[in-house]
Amino acid sequence: MALRTILLVLLMLLPSCAGARVLAKDYMTLVKKTSKSSIKSVMRQADRYLEAGHQDTALVYYMVVCNRMDDKLSDEDKHHCAMAFLKKGNIYYMKGGFADALKAYFSGLRIIKTCEDQKGIGRFYNNIANVYCAFNELEKAYTYYETGYKCCSKYRDHQNEYKILTNLTILNVKLGKTREARKCFNLSEKLKDKNSKADNFMGRFNYGLILIAEKNFAQAVSNFKSLLSYSFDVGMEPRFICSAYKKLYKSYMELGERDSTLKYLKLCENTAVKHGIHYFYLDVLLDHADYFDAQGDYKSASRYRARYQKDRDSVYNIHDFDRVKNEQTLYEMDKYDKYIASLNEREKERVLTISAQRYTIAAVSVVTLVVGLLLLVVYRQKKRIDKSYNNLFVVNRNFVNNQEIMRQRLSDAVSRLKESEAEAEQLRGRLAAYDADDVVKDTGASELSDDMAHKAKSGGINDDMRRKLLDSVIDIMENTTEFCRPDFSLARLAVLVGSNNKYVSLVIHDTFHKSFKNYVNDYRIHLACLRMSDTAGYGSYTLNAIAESVGFKSYTTFVELFRKIVGITPSMYRDKLKESV
């Protein structure tokens, strides 16, 4: 069975391929014949072929017009080119080439925006939105429909205004915007052509969709029955009738009327089978299964699902075959499009060749000179940057190496401060030997006042407390690795020195003119530099591991702070260390 199916497909494809070769020859002749014709005449010929149902031939003519687009064309010719892109896109859309259709629509839209006559611009927005609907990008489609509607209203393009309002009605129902759907429907009813069978059908159909969205199922049933009668009376195509059947049995299903639901399910199925409307047929099979599931008739539901699984493969095979044929046609058309474009490009090249040659040598010379200068500038700049990085590295390395000396000097300064305070204490003792009453009268009040002012200025901490607290903070930071803990905080440091957050923060800020965070980060970065230099102890550590060892939770934060404090990145610092060995 499978072998017979493959042979059948091959037999069907062979004539198609042969036909494509014949068409290719004819199309190339056609392109050459139209090379001297005006854009208007080529466009007129294309429209005639399209109306006669010869889409492929019409498409080649539209391609000829599209590839003649030039900014120097008259406004009329530009408008013809825009319409050629629109109709080219329509043909691609009907063949399932949605991406190519969208590209053509956007190309035409850009052209028509430069024309004085922009009456047809709404058609581009409407068709672009249709493509986005096919891709199920409904919000984006909604935006283009709205833009197209505004353009149609502006240029009084009522025919396309009606189409957009009809599409907006359906889209609003899909998006659950029932109020907006009814508003669009009411506007569309004022614009529809009452002599058009399709317009009358879509008007009643959209009205039924709104009734379903509003859960007015009884009225929806009445509407779709009336629509079916109209469809049979005026001879609508079977796909329209299937659409009405489907919404009718959906409404009956919501009302819980089993017999009527089953009746119209069968009618929709029979119509779809009779006229080969495959997508409706498969949908109806699934709806049958859902119906019987709801009734508890699982045996019948299972039977319909089995039919769906069985028939789906054959239907999809037909779809795949149609897609293959369409893809082949689109492939052939793409070749013609490229050929037409190449003819136009050759014509332009002949016009531009002489002027291009005049500037080629000069341009090459200028470019060569500019590139040479840029390379020189880049080279010199790189040398300066390398030198700056080396200087930063040397300065920072010296600072790290001399850190112990600085610590010793700080210890000496603290000792001298203590000696000075002792001398001051002795001096105060000697002054106490004088007349206490006079001293108290003359100086007591002012000293008390000065001491109170100093305490107020220093946040309630006197010099003795400040000195002891500073000694404790420095002792913790210099003689322990508490700051290497990831959770090290101001509160933790305050606990370690036996004080509170406020006093510790005040002492650090007044002494080092830094916040607690910056104060701790300096220690961490300098310790990281020492550990990178310690190849014996930390040579096997990655930079990330070193960052974690000094208390950084985030490697990114470590790199940013390292570069800010040291001037170069950790990786550059380690490379410079290796070079200096």
Judged against a pLDDT cut of 80, whether residue 218 lies above it is answered with yes
pLDDT, average across residues 567-577: 90
Distance CA 338, CA 462 (A): 88
pLDDT band for 344, please (50, 70, 90 cuts).
Answer: low
pLDDT tens, position by position, 242-283: 999 999 999 998 998 989 999 999 999 899 888 888 777 888
Phi-psi region of 176 (alpha: psi -120 to 50; beta: other; left: phi over 0): left
Judged against a pLDDT cut of 90, whether residue 169 lies above it is answered with yes
pLDDT tens, position by position, 293-340: 888 888 888 988 888 888 876 665 544 444 444 544 554 556 556 656
The lowest-confidence range among 21-35, 94-108, 283-297 is: 21-35
Distance CA 485, CA 492 (A): 10
Q: Tell whether the torsion through CA atoms of 64, 126, 48 and 238 is positive or negative.
A: positive
pLDDT band for 81, please (50, 70, 90 cuts).
Answer: very high
pLDDT, average across residues 536-553: 91
User: What 8-state DSSP symbol labels residue 440?
Assistant: I
Per-residue pLDDT, 9 = 36
Per-residue pLDDT, 6 = 34
Q: How many CB atoms lie under 10 A from the CB of residue 243?
A: 22
CA angle, 214 then 217 then 222, to 5°: 120
The lowest-confidence range among 14-18, 91-95, 211-215, 416-420 is: 14-18
- Per the prediction, the chain carries an average pLDDT of 80
Per-residue pLDDT, 5 = 38
Per-residue pLDDT, 390 = 66
Query: Which position has the token pair 């497909």?
Result: 9
pLDDT, average across residues 3-8: 36
pLDDT tens, position by position, 373-428: 888 877 777 767 666 666 666 656 655 555 555 556 556 655 666 666 666 666 66
pLDDT band for 221, please (50, 70, 90 cuts).
Answer: very high
pLDDT band for 504, please (50, 70, 90 cuts).
Answer: very high
Per-residue pLDDT, 232 = 93
3 state SS of 459: coil
3 state SS of 339: helix
Judged against a pLDDT cut of 50, whether residue 18 lies above it is answered with no
Per-residue pLDDT, 342 = 64
Per-residue pLDDT, 452 = 41
User: What 8-state DSSP symbol labels residue 256?
Assistant: T
Are 241 and 232 a contacting pair, CB within 8 Å?
yes
Distance CA 187, CA 184 (A): 5
pLDDT tens, position by position, 135-163: 889 999 999 999 999 999 888 888 898 99
The lowest-confidence range among 111-125, 327-341, 358-372 is: 327-341
pLDDT tens, position by position, 229-246: 999 999 999 989 999 999
pLDDT band for 455, please (50, 70, 90 cuts).
Answer: very low
pLDDT band for 495, please (50, 70, 90 cuts).
Answer: very high
Per-residue pLDDT, 13 = 37
DSSP character string of 104-165: HHHHHHHHHTTSS--TTHHHHHHHHHHHHHHTT-HHHHHHHHHHHHHHHHHHT-HHHHHHHH
Judged against a pLDDT cut of 70, whether residue 449 lies above it is answered with no
pLDDT, average across residues 166-178: 92
Per-residue pLDDT, 142 = 92
Per-residue pLDDT, 460 = 62
Q: Work out the angle between the directed axes of helices 238-255 and 258-275 (0-180°, nearest 10).
A: 160
- For residue 84, give the nearest of 53, 52, 49, 116 by alpha carbon: 49
Q: What is the largest CA-CA distance in the chain?
A: 131
- For residue 241, give the nearest of 213, 272, 263 by alpha carbon: 272
Residue type, 99: A
3 state SS of 461: coil
Domains of the chain by start residue, with CATH: 460-581 (1.10.10.60)
Per-residue pLDDT, 465 = 84
Judged against a pLDDT cut of 70, whether residue 176 lies above it is answered with yes
| Report for 17-21, 200-204, 273-277, 456-460: range of highest mean pLDDT | 200-204
Per-residue pLDDT, 112 = 92
Per-residue pLDDT, 523 = 93
b/e per residue 457-476 (b: at least 16 CB within 10 A): ebeebeeeebeebbebbbeb
What residues have CB less than 8 Å from 196, skipping those under 6 apart?
none
b/e per residue 60-70 (b: at least 16 CB within 10 A): bbbbbbbbbbe
Phi-psi region of 215 (alpha: psi -120 to 50; beta: other; left: phi over 0): left
Distance CA 426, CA 509 (A): 31
What residues have CB less than 8 Å from 276, skipping those under 6 apart?
none
C-beta pairs of 490-495 under 8 Å, 24+ apart in sequence: 490/516
Are 297 and 291 a contacting pair, CB within 8 Å?
no
User: What 8-state DSSP symbol labels residue 534?
Assistant: -
Per-residue pLDDT, 347 = 55
Judged against a pLDDT cut of 70, whether residue 561 lies above it is answered with yes
Distance CA 401, CA 529 (A): 10
Per-residue pLDDT, 387 = 61
* Structure-model confidence comparison of residues 261 and 464, the more confident one: 261
Are 42 and 64 a contacting pair, CB within 8 Å?
yes
CA angle, 25 then 319 then 206, to 5°: 110
